[in-house]
Amino acid sequence: MAKTAKKKVAAKPAKKAAPKKAAAKKAAPKKAAVKKAAPKKAAAKKTARKPNAAFMRPVTPSETLAVIVGSKPVPRTEITKKVWEYIKKNNLQDKTNKRQINADAALKAVFGGKASVDMFSMTKLVGKHLK
């Protein structure tokens, strides 16, 4: 009988230990769920952005740039769009490297005499022709 009593005593603590571990694991996901919910609320508040007035201010293109985009004062974002329309319409983008723009006679004057310009430096060169 002594052997059976020892087994019963050893079996009881094993059963109690298992529920404690399960309870600890369940508590951790609840904390993580609370942390994830807080950033979503903060991100929702930041969605109301005001446009930058500097981008929307009308600028007058120079005579060389006016050949491509027109002579009316328009925002610099519209000038960039019109330059890209001109490039696409005249098929001036390089076939193999789409980042390179092969200038025609009108664009060569805007690009400072360069025959080929990278698309990232294009806006810098166009910006020199804005007043």
Rounded distance between C-alpha atoms, residue 7 and residue 131, angstroms: 93
- Burial category of 27 from C-beta neighbours within 10 Å (exposed 0-12, middle 13-18, buried 19 and up): exposed
Q: What are phi and psi of 62, to 5 degrees?
A: -70, 175
Q: What is the pLDDT of residues 6-46, one digit of tens each?
A: 555 555 555 555 555 555 555 555 555 555 555 555 555 66
Q: What is the pLDDT of residues 68-85, one digit of tens each?
A: 999 999 999 999 999 999
pLDDT band for position 110 (cuts 50, 70, 90): very high
**pLDDT value of position 69:** 94
Single-letter amino acid code for the residue at 113: G
pTM of the shown model: 0.59
pLDDT band for position 86 (cuts 50, 70, 90): very high
pLDDT at 116 over 70: yes
DSSP one-letter code for 53? H
Retrieve residue 36's tokens: 């994830």
Rounded distance between C-alpha atoms, residue 65 and residue 72, angstroms: 11
Rounded distance between C-alpha atoms, residue 93 and residue 75, angstroms: 24
Q: What are phi and psi of 52, to 5 degrees?
A: -75, 125
| Mean pLDDT across the chain | 78
**pLDDT value of position 112:** 92
